[in-house]
Amino acid sequence: MNKGNRNPPKSTQFKKGRSGNPKGRPRQTVRQVSTGSQFRKVAREQISIEIEGTQHKMSRWDAYVRQIYNMALNRNGSAARLLDQLRRQFPGDLLPGDPVIFLISESDAKI
């Protein structure tokens, strides 16, 4: 009985210059993820924030819009412009009783 100490017969050996695996190992495909889908995934994540001493769970997007809204209320001009852009990009209906806040400069108020 042969214990495997010898080379296989010449007829079954790989030919010189030929690989035993000519195509090679297939490459692992890298799934391309769009920036938009990554943004939506992160924006939907639930986070816990503290508002007036109580913990609230909300999406990152809701927390982001809330922060921009608070900054705009504190007379941050760039936050007010960004909030206006967000309102134009994502229009929605106001519910009855929702406050509508207009930020105007002192020079506009004098007119």
Residue 46 lies in a domain: yes
Residue 48 lies in a domain: yes
Residue 68 within a domain: yes
Mean pLDDT by 10 residues, the chain (111 residues): 76 80 82 85 91 91 90 91 84 68 71 58
- The answer to whether residue 100 is domain-embedded is no
Position 63 scores a pLDDT of: 92
Number of domains, the chain: 1
8 contacts 14 by C-beta, under 8 angstroms:
no
- At residue 96, the pLDDT reads 62
C-alpha span between 51 and 34 (Å, rounded): 33
- The pLDDT of residue 33: 80
* Token representation of residue 77: 């001009």
Neighbour tally for 16: CB within 10 Å: 5
Q: The pTM is what? A: 0.51
* pLDDT value at residue 71: 92
Q: For residue 28, tell me if it sits in a domain.
A: no
Structural contact between residues 72 and 83, judged by C-beta atoms closer than 8 angstroms: yes
d(CA 33, CA 99): 39
Judge whether 17 lies within some domain. no
**Residue 84: what pLDDT?**
85
| Residue 97 belongs to a domain | no
Range of the domain at 60: 41-91
The radius of gyration of the chain from alpha carbons, rounded to an integer in Å, stands at: 32
CB distance 59 to 45 below 8 Å: yes
Indicate whether 31 belongs to any domain: no
